Amino acid sequence: MLTTATPDRDLLVDHRGRPRVAVPTSLTHDQSLLGTAFHEAGHAVLALAQGLHLVSSEVVAWLSGPGQSTVTGRTSFSAARIEDIHPWRFAAQAAAGSLAEVRYLMDHGLWTPERAAACPGTHDRDQAVDVLAGMGYRLGVDHVPPGGKSWGQVRGMAWHRINRLWPQIRTVAHAMYETPFLTGEQIAAMTGLTNAPMPGGVA
């Protein structure tokens, strides 16, 4: 699953078109790959559990330099209208990726402060801030805005749900490590969670 081809540009930039920052972790390629699978599994499982239609989740690994590999991932879901998405559930789903990755490091004896800092999910946080702003909700990065919530509060919500759904997240992560692209229906089947109908489609 390690390729020499650079992935599509949309896997290398965030929703604002900025390059995603690659941070060295001192992990082996396989450890990084599984960590990224846990990251995407966190997004995917919380999306299902919170009623979003999950389209797919994947990890992508490529040779980015001599003796150097880079791993990233993507999880896609959809809603008919942005107003149909519960704002704080969407934000918790966004926070779940990096938190699931940190839990993976802890459970596998790989956690260090430096490695935890290397999976902050900044692009996930910024997307949540922008999406919620478009819905009229305020998500503060380092403070609680009037009438809104802070990213720290959202991470607390996500951590609680990750702990409750950890068996499902672990199942999806290990499946994605073996098969890097999974559909929403495949993930729903292996977790026992319901994938909401495709927006605008037949139930």
- Per-residue confidence (pLDDT) for residue 12, from 0 to 100: 62
Is the pLDDT confidence value at 110 over 60?
yes
**Mean per-residue pLDDT for 26-51?**
94
Average pLDDT of the chain to the nearest whole number: 88
Tens-digit pLDDT profile for residues 140-166: 999 999 999 999 999 999 999 999 999
- Per-residue confidence (pLDDT) for residue 23, from 0 to 100: 72
Q: Residue 158 and residue 92: Cα distance in Å, rounded? A: 5
The residues near 154 (Cβ < 8 Å, ≥ 6 apart) are: 88, 91, 92, 94, 95, 128, 139
- Per-residue confidence (pLDDT) for residue 117, from 0 to 100: 83
**Mean per-residue pLDDT for 44-60?**
93
Confidence of residue 49 (pLDDT cuts 50, 70, 90): very high
Q: For 14-146, where are the E strands, in sequence order? A: 53-65, 68-78, 139-140
- Per-residue confidence (pLDDT) for residue 85, from 0 to 100: 76
Tens-digit pLDDT profile for residues 10-28: 776 667 666 676 677 789 9
127, 154 in Cβ contact below 8 A?
A: no
Which one, of 25, 58, 79, 36, lies nearest residue 196 by Cα? 79
* Residue whose token pair is 């896609």: 76
190, 65 in Cβ contact below 8 A?
A: no
Residue 114 identity (one-letter amino acid):
E
Is the pLDDT confidence value at 128 over 90?
yes
Least reliable range by pLDDT among 3-7, 38-42, 155-159: 3-7
Which one, of 183, 201, 202, lies nearest residue 48 by Cα? 183
Structure-derived torsion over alpha carbons of residues 155, 161, 164, 170, reported in degrees to the nearest 10: -80
- Per-residue confidence (pLDDT) for residue 35, from 0 to 100: 95
DSSP structure class, residue 13: B
Looking at per-residue pLDDT, the higher value among 11 and 137 belongs to 137
**Whole-structure pTM value:** 0.90
Q: Residue 103 and residue 10: Cα distance in Å, rounded? A: 27
